[in-house]
Amino acid sequence: MEIKLKKLWVSFIVVSAITASALGEFGGPLVKGFYKESCPLAEEIVKHNVEVAVLKDPRMAASLLRLQFHDCFVLGCDASVLLDTHGDILSEKQATPNVNSLRGFEVIDYIKYLLEEACPLTVSCSDIIAMAARDSVFLRGGPWWEVYLGRRDSLKASFSGANQFIPAPNTSLEGLIINFKQQGLNIQDLVALSGAHTIGKARCLSFKQRIVQPNMLQTFYVDEFKRHSTFRRILRSQCKDSSRDNELSPLDLQTPAYFDNHYYINLLKGRGLLISDNVLVSEDHEGEIFKKVWEYAVDQELFFVDFVESMLKMGNINVLTGIEGEIRENCRFVNV
């Protein structure tokens, strides 16, 4: 326990050292301490309730982190992903990448309820998502960073955008690069943010193709010890047939409960769970991405620093501020 606490403290110090410059570069119209006067306990309320939710369900940390990805990649970081189908709005929750997959809505609902009790119509749902993602990473042993705040909530959702812009688990490397570029994110952001797969689980349906994938050239070394076939045999035993499509497997088999750099170590061994994970090493013909994967595999603190910078950058995609959008009273519906 003492070793774990020391690790957390080192991560905090390292990331804090780059926070000032990173926030200055990626904060944009968002600011530090946005709720300092209007709702001084906002971040504490979010943090406490994320902690309670993760203690009840450890997988919730990954779910809340994923929620920000799926929000920001569609329209921008505006909480459009939280809207239910109502009136003219067709919910993004029903889109293929999200349906029966995206989780954490009830946690956000409860946090919003408490914030409305404390500070009515003050804290946006989009800021709650951003804070919850940060707290989830830290609770699992990852870095802490200061979230720039001041986002406002959208008045619409985009069902078609969710189907178009959220990468599928079998996306090619070229497809991932194009997808991230559409969001203003570069190759380093792609590799760093993919590290979010160091926590969480995926359904058999998401990696079925990985089990039967004919291409065995998944790593940088000759598989003389049959690690590929052994790994796929483990996966095949979990996902024997279509009746088990909803069975879950950890995205990181080595340290599934901790936010660390084992995701990249797994990639170098050909043990990434999703096809879209493995393409980072199997389809990188230029070697730039492979080099970054290797750097993160041997240097966890470098991964933490780059992950934080990329999260800050992603958290600033097409944000609504000032008089744009609104502060929703209920995250599931636009205000009447």
Residue 92 annotated as lining a ligand binding site: yes
Give phi and psi for 286, each to the nearest 5. -85, -25
The greatest distance separating any two alpha carbons of the chain, rounded to the nearest whole angstrom, comes to 64
Catalytic residue at 70?
yes
Token match 């995926």: residue?
202
Residue 223 annotated as lining a ligand binding site: no
Joined tokens for residue 224 = 């003389």
Closest CA to 153 of 93, 79, 84, 83: 79
Residue 255 annotated as lining a ligand binding site: yes
Residue 146 annotated as lining a ligand binding site: no
Q: Which of 70, 86, 228, 285 is catalytic?
A: 70
Residue 306 annotated as lining a ligand binding site: no
Asked if 332 contacts 109 with a C-beta cutoff of 8 angstroms, the reply is yes
Joined tokens for residue 215 = 């291409």
Residue 167 annotated as lining a ligand binding site: yes
| Alpha carbon distances (Å) from 241 to 211, 237, 246 | 12, 9, 11
105 contact partners, CB below 8 Å, separation of at least 6: 82, 93, 332
Rg (C-alpha) for the chain, rounded Å, is 20
Quote helix, strand, coil % in the chain, to nearest 5: 55, 5, 40
Closest CA to 47 of 119, 147, 116: 147
Residue 74 annotated as lining a ligand binding site: yes
Residue 310 annotated as lining a ligand binding site: no
Asked if 133 contacts 71 with a C-beta cutoff of 8 angstroms, the reply is no
Residue 21 annotated as lining a ligand binding site: no
As a residue count, the chain comes to: 336
Residue 85 annotated as lining a ligand binding site: no
Angle at 292 between CA 204 and CA 251, to 5 degrees: 15
**Alpha carbon of residue 273 to chain centroid:** 16
How many angstroms separate the CA atoms of 137 and 311, rounded?
A: 11
Q: What is the DSSP letter of 201?
A: E
- Please report, in range form, the residues annotated as the binding site for heme b: 197
List binding-site positions for substrate: 167
Binding-site residue set? 71, 74, 76, 78, 80, 92, 167, 197-198, 252, 255, 260
Could you give the residue numbers annotated as active site?
70
